[in-house]
Amino acid sequence: MLTDRRNRKLTINAGGRLVDLSRPRVMGILNVTPDSFYNNSRCGDRATVAARVATLLGEGADMIDVGGYSSRPGCAEVSVDEEKRRLAMGLEAIRLQAPDAIVSVDTFRADVARWCVEQWGVQIINDISGGELDTCMYETIADLQVPYVMMHMRGKPDAMMQEQYLHYEDVTADVLQYFAEKIDLLTRMGVNDIIIDPGFGFSKTIDDNYRLMRHLDEFTRIGLPLLVGISRKSMIYKLLNTTPAESLNGTTVLNVLALMGGANILRVHDVKPAVEAVKIVMQTIPDTI
């Protein structure tokens, strides 16, 4: 599962900065939510955000992904105003402490995405719904001209693990088809920087998640950057009969497999182990991954 990156578009324009993704990058997670599935990622006030930012950047994060709406299975609905309130607290703290940091915001709402870019200078939008939950998202991204992380998911976050969303004829083929249709539409709308995310843990069984990991290199054939987010997810702790808190080792193993399969961005809670994984894998097989 060694993947050649040389024939893919591996640069994005993040707020006027050209980011080269031929060397895999690490995206550190910062949740300004009270109910994210991993307790240690939650930041409820400016001081906690500042400490988290210092940790993420100090350990080598290339970008920070901020979320104000938990997407764990069964999560509670969050109003637009509440999502903005949480994000404003987090983004203000980030901009005061690290004004030059590349910041991504995890939202599926077009108006929240626009507000984050125009009000706070956010450079990347990370949409777990791939545009399915807000029909205005694609038009907004095309207008803003920011990199767009498009993830695969079925249903809404609070219902994505219901039986009707878990049936696939072939999970890899189905997800690839999903991306093909959406990339065609986004490209015709003038979106230049698209990053694909297979959506590990979202409307997929444990077996489906590992099937996707085994065939991850097939997603690189699309020719676009690939983001993988498996940090401390249930595909690890349910398989090993542990907890999110005990899932760092499993996360690192899967991050290495993801890098070998062609991942360009690792979205993680624990930056230092991911940065070390990138360095080791690049040193070992630099020309193929």
Segment 227-280, tens digit of pLDDT = 999 999 999 999 999 999 999 999 999 999 999 999 999 999 999 999 999 999
How does pLDDT run across 57-109, given as a tens digit for each residue? 999 999 999 999 877 665 677 899 999 999 999 999 999 999 999 999 999 99
Q: Confirm whether 237 is domain-assigned.
A: yes
Q: Which two tokens stand for residue 10?
A: 């591996």
Between the alpha carbon of residue 252 and those of residues 1, 21, 178, 200, the distances in Å are: 17, 20, 28, 15
Known catalytic residue at 6: no
Q: What is the CATH number of the domain that holds 213?
A: 3.20.20.20
Q: Confirm whether 5 is domain-assigned.
A: no
- Reference 203, options 169, 152, 244; nearest CA is 152
Helix (H) or strand (E) holding 54: helix 46-58
Known catalytic residue at 182: no
Q: What is the pLDDT of residue 200?
A: 97
List the domain range (segments joined by +) for residue 278. Answer: 23-284
Q: Confirm whether 4 is domain-assigned.
A: no
Counting residues of the chain whose pLDDT is more than 70, the rounded percentage is 91
**Contact call for residues 68 and 88 (beta carbons, < 8 A):** no
The catalytic residue among 84, 204, 267, 279 is 267
Query: Residue holding tokens 């290495």?
Result: 256
- Positive or negative: CA dihedral 276, 278, 281, 284: negative
How does pLDDT run across 163-187, given as a tens digit for each residue? 777 889 999 999 999 999 999 999 9
Q: Which two tokens stand for residue 50?
A: 């500042």
Q: What is the pLDDT of residue 243?
A: 95
Q: Which two tokens stand for residue 63?
A: 């970008």
Q: What is the pTM of this model?
A: 0.93
Q: How far is CA 107 from the centre of its chain?
A: 11
**Dist. CA 148–CA 161, nearest whole Å:** 24
The catalytic residue among 25, 233, 272, 279 is 233
**Contact call for residues 200 and 209 (beta carbons, < 8 A):** yes
Which residues are within 8 A (CB) of 224 and not within 5 positions of it... i.e. 6 or more apart? 8, 9, 183, 194, 195, 196
Question: What pairs with residue 194 in β-bridges?
Answer: 148
Q: Confirm whether 289 is domain-assigned.
A: no
**Contact call for residues 286 and 278 (beta carbons, < 8 A):** no
Q: Confirm whether 8 is domain-assigned.
A: no
Q: Confirm whether 66 is domain-assigned.
A: yes
Cα torsion 66, 38, 56, 202 to 10°: value is -50
Other beta carbons within 10 Å of 35: 14
Q: How many domains does the chain have?
A: 1
Q: Confirm whether 11 is domain-assigned.
A: no
Q: Confirm whether 45 is domain-assigned.
A: yes
